[in-house]
Structure 1
Amino acid sequence: MTDGLDEPRPRRLWPVWTALAVVVLLLTCGLPAVLVLGVLRERGDRAALAPVDAAADDPATRAGRDLADRMAAELDRQSDALLAGDRAGFLAIAEPAAHADLRRRFAALRALKVTTWRAEVTELPTAAPGRAGEWRLLVRYQYCFVVPGCRPSPLLIGTRWRATADRPRLLAVEESTSAETGTRPWEVSDLVVATGARTVVATTPALRGRLPGLLADAEAAATVADRYAPAGEIPDRYRVFYAGRAEWARWYGGGRPKWTGGYAVTVGGGHHEVVLNADGLTPAGQDDLLRHELTHAASLPDRGAPGKATWWLVEGLAEYAGADGQPVDRYGGLAEVRRLVQGGWTGRLDGIVPADDAPADQVAGSYGLGYLAVRHLVDRFGEERVLAFFAAVVRDRIPIGRAAEQVLGEPWPALHDECVDYVRALTS
């Protein structure tokens, strides 16, 4: 399903739960505290709360649903204001204490050329713990950047409100903290942005001077990465965020291994967002890293890579793209591969994932091993068949032995040993 600016407002999304406990404490509206147990079911053009018993007409249940609808209406107005570039309208639903955060979010989203922004209420509000008279509402936002009608990326964010007699007032928007992706850059940072034909790149104002070179390298890398996307699934825009030291520790949850120079994280809707670590990244290495990470964004499925056993294949393909057709003997990590191979490597491709605290040369050797294995397969079977093999293993989750037989026509144990022999011959 595609979504664009001219599509009708989506219906409210009341989830189907087998049982729901809703604590309705509408003190500011003068209603008593009531506990209602019920189930949700579809009815008409939106889902309705259906109680288990005679509480169908309970006033607290209706009040809770009405409050959710009124909050949703405020969020709809705010979404329209964002897309129209109306900052005053975007702030209008909130109390002044929330304006500074909302102004920053508005500026960052507008700089990223937001084209779709929808706020979907997925449940009833609950009393905010320890905050008398306040309510917490989880909101599912869906967004697109640059391209109207893209398949949107979803994001679940908590919001806090105060219910007043006329209309609810937004008090705060929380940071998203999902285990899968963590906090997005535009939630917490001021951003400056540059947009090209295939990429959108963003960084902080302090690193504004890096944007022209970053955009040029990203655009060049995108033309390479496009070759590794499945047919019909080339990203509409590659999203690249260039992180300073503080941002690296905060964006998308931080906590990456010390040796990480960049990563691609899935954000749903068929999109991966790429983050580069400004610390220690030189202009000379930026283009290689961008080709590597954008190839992840192009080739990986929404659910990410299968796991450690196929790490060599995922990273090997990205390294192959990063090398961009250069001869094997010019690959920058050959010396590190040699040290790793001669330092007691087990000879198994499925055991080369570097530890989080691994030294830099071991990390480079592990990536290089993956590159050489993929390079051998490409030399043997050609890019098209190797990409089909990659898709079978990484995207379709077909066991590697069966995928090798089906796609490459040969048993995997023999091919694995060929890859190992190739690596050893190059590094002996």
Structure 2
Amino acid sequence: MPVVVVLLLAGAVPAALLLVHDADVETPAEAAAPTENPTTLAARQVAERITAQLERQSAALLAGDRTGFLAVADRKIHSELRRRFAGLRELRVTRWEGRPNGLPTPAGNAGEWRLSVEFHYCFVEPDCRPSPLLVNTLWRDGTDPRLLKLEKSTSTPQVGGRVRAQAGTLPWEVSKLVVAVGKRTIVGTTPAYRDRLPGLLKRAEAAAKVADGYVVDGAVPERYRIFYAGPKEWKRWYGGDQPEWGAGYAVNVGGGHHDVVLGPDSFNDSGYLDVMLRHELAHAASLPENDYWDNSAWWLIEGLAEHAGADGASVARYDGLIPTRKFVKGDWNGKLDDLLPAEDASTEEAIGSYGAAYLAVRYLLNRFGEQKVHAFVKAVVHDLRVPRQVSEEIFGKPWAKLHADCAKHLRRAVE
């Protein structure tokens, strides 16, 4: 008890005395909060009002309410927004969120603001990992700001090898679309090629079963997205910057998704279409979320996809065998790192490069099996480790020796 008394006297004041004392003595005024720059404050308030409009528009899109989707925008852009609305609904949009990417900046006219907006979207699957999309917009401020301009997304470069490059203009931003949905795929094209959708969907579903076996890290894609491009769309979608020898590609759109685009000539041969679908969907299954690798890994990436395209067929039945033989017996220096064809390469040279990559990966698969080769792909393409660092760890062989064996095999295989 005496100890308690000592503590009370030494470290506390009776409550009644404390209250009277506080009431009798003036307290210093609170320090004033830092004053925000008026321009920044105004921009922040505009951003809040625009965010509310974006939320209303998103809710309208997901509800199928076209009138509500258009209501946030000036009538001058309603036609373009109607096309986008229709395309997104065709693609079974299940998630659509728009948020300011930074603060808006004043535009040329009073009351107008430019704002970069980042959208996140999902198709078909309501709980998919969303893909991001960055676009520039123009608004006229007010109680309910009005959208004056919605630009198309543009290609952005990869920064420092660590920031995902934006793919470029997406099909539903610039084209009317018709779409079909299967269990594992969603396929789309323009109305001019509507009659090709049923066959494309059937073949895509078959290719997806093959591609699922080429996942090297994580789960299979939630759903493969495939677009067939006519001549006009081929030059416009995703930037349209494809080499002359290109016939299809898989492009990273973020969120772990790769859109697959088939070129105008894809339907010239049904067998070729099947091979291309297996090849490109294998890319969507095997490539990492971010495009970090350098060109030295091209042979491994494309060789694996070519193996999927071949789908177990013998080397003798490989469509590109003749150009591959010419390539390997020609000026090839025997280095796998140098197989990437030049942008201005002839179609025959490009096919030969792909064929050599296919034979190299096939050799590794036959010698070491799928599990080890997939581990090698993950280490080199996903984890950015060079082959000489991981070859002994995975294959039990030094890379210099294994590379030499692989080159020898290529030359024998085309005899």
**Which interval holds the TM-score relative to the shorter structure?**
0.7 to 0.9
Identity of paired residues, percent? 56
Question: Which consecutive unaligned segments of at least 5 residues does structure 2 have?
Answer: 1-31, 157-164
Please, which of 370, 383, 398 is the counterpart of residue 396 of structure 1? 383
Q: Alpha-carbon deviation of 1:65?
A: 1.3
TM-score by length of 1: 0.85
Deviations 1:100-139 (A, max 9, x none): 01100000001000111111123221122x4454211111
Check if 1:108 corresponds to 2:87: yes
Match of 1:207 in 2: 193
CA distance in 1 between partners of 2:99 and 2:289 (Å): 21
Please, which of 174, 188, 197 is the counterpart of residue 188 of structure 1? 174
Deviations 1:123-156 (A, max 9, x none): 221122x445421111110001110111111111
Q: Alpha-carbon deviation of 1:291?
A: 0.4
Deviations 1:377-416 (A, max 9, x none): 1110111111111111111111111121111111111111
CA distance in 2 between partners of 1:372 and 1:262 (Å): 21
Match of 1:168 in 2: 145
Deviations 1:343-376 (A, max 9, x none): 2211111111111111111111100000000011
Instruction: Please state whether the residue corresponding to 2:216 is helix, strand or coil.
Output: coil
Match of 2:369 in 1: 382
Task: State which drifts further: 368-377 or 399-408.
Answer: 399-408
* Shift in alpha-carbon separation, 1:307–1:73, aligned structure 2, 3 A: same
Instruction: Please state whether the residue corresponding to 2:342 is helix, strand or coil.
Output: coil
Q: Alpha-carbon deviation of 1:55?
A: 6.3
Instruction: Please state whether the residue corresponding to 1:158 is helix, strand or coil.
Output: strand
Instruction: Please state whether the residue corresponding to 1:279 is helix, strand or coil.
Output: helix
Q: Alpha-carbon deviation of 1:54?
A: 7.8
Match of 2:118 in 1: 140
Check if 1:330 corresponds to 2:301: no
Task: State which drifts further: 277-286 or 396-405.
Answer: 277-286
Q: Alpha-carbon deviation of 1:280?
A: 5.6
Larger radius of gyration: 2
Instruction: Please state whether the residue corresponding to 2:83 is helix, strand or coil.
Output: helix
Match of 1:265 in 2: 251
Any conservation in 1 of the 2:189–2:197 contact (CA below 8 Å)?
yes
Check if 1:228 corresponds to 2:205: no
CA RMSD, 1 decimal: 1.5
Count of aligned positions: 374
Summarize the alignment of residues 332-347 of structure 1 with structure 2, pairs less than 5 Å apart.
332-347=319-334
The one-letter amino acid paired with 2:374 is L
* Shift in alpha-carbon separation, 1:280–1:153, aligned structure 2, 3 A: closer
CA distance in 2 between partners of 1:231 and 1:252 (Å): 26
CA distance in 1 between partners of 2:46 and 2:411 (Å): 67
* Shift in alpha-carbon separation, 1:414–1:58, aligned structure 2, 3 A: closer
CA distance in 2 between partners of 1:150 and 1:333 (Å): 37
TM-score by length of 2: 0.87
CA distance in 2 between partners of 1:281 and 1:260 (Å): 15
Choose between structure 1 and 2: higher strand proportion.
Answer: 1
The one-letter amino acid paired with 1:167 is D
The one-letter amino acid paired with 2:133 is L
CA distance in 1 between partners of 2:346 and 2:218 (Å): 39
Any conservation in 2 of the 1:400–1:412 contact (CA below 8 Å)?
yes
Any conservation in 2 of the 1:305–1:314 contact (CA below 8 Å)?
no
Match of 2:238 in 1: 252
Q: Alpha-carbon deviation of 1:230?
A: 3.1
CA distance in 2 between partners of 1:373 and 1:269 (Å): 31
CA distance in 2 between partners of 1:263 and 1:240 (Å): 10
Please, which of 110, 128, 136 is the counterpart of residue 158 of structure 1? 136
Deviations 1:193-231 (A, max 9, x none): 000000001101111111111111111110011111135
Instruction: Please state whether the residue corresponding to 2:154 is helix, strand or coil.
Output: coil
Q: Alpha-carbon deviation of 1:57?
A: 4.6
Q: Alpha-carbon deviation of 1:62?
A: 2.8
Choose between structure 1 and 2: higher helix proportion.
Answer: 2
Instruction: Please state whether the residue corresponding to 1:326 is helix, strand or coil.
Output: coil
Instruction: Please state whether the residue corresponding to 1:263 is helix, strand or coil.
Output: strand
The one-letter amino acid paired with 1:265 is V
Q: Alpha-carbon deviation of 1:303?
A: 1.6
Match of 1:287 in 2: 274
Q: Alpha-carbon deviation of 1:279?
A: 3.3
Q: Alpha-carbon deviation of 1:174?
A: 0.6
* Shift in alpha-carbon separation, 1:280–1:273, aligned structure 2, 3 A: closer
* Shift in alpha-carbon separation, 1:418–1:305, aligned structure 2, 3 A: farther
* Shift in alpha-carbon separation, 1:328–1:305, aligned structure 2, 3 A: farther
Q: Alpha-carbon deviation of 1:278?
A: 1.5
Please, which of 67, 72, 80 is the counterpart of residue 93 of structure 1? 72
The one-letter amino acid paired with 2:251 is V
Task: State which drifts further: 103-112 or 414-423.
Answer: 414-423
The one-letter amino acid paired with 2:169 is T
Any conservation in 1 of the 2:266–2:272 contact (CA below 8 Å)?
no
Q: Alpha-carbon deviation of 1:88?
A: 0.6
The one-letter amino acid paired with 2:75 is P
Check if 1:405 corresponds to 2:382: no
Any conservation in 2 of the 1:267–1:302 contact (CA below 8 Å)?
no
Any conservation in 2 of the 1:262–1:293 contact (CA below 8 Å)?
yes
Any conservation in 2 of the 1:221–1:290 contact (CA below 8 Å)?
yes
Match of 2:296 in 1: 309
Any conservation in 1 of the 2:212–2:220 contact (CA below 8 Å)?
yes
CA distance in 1 between partners of 2:194 and 2:303 (Å): 32
CA distance in 2 between partners of 1:246 and 1:206 (Å): 11
The one-letter amino acid paired with 2:184 is R
Q: Alpha-carbon deviation of 1:299?
A: 0.4
Question: Which consecutive unaligned segments of at least 5 residues does structure 1 have?
Answer: 1-52
Any conservation in 1 of the 2:122–2:131 contact (CA below 8 Å)?
yes
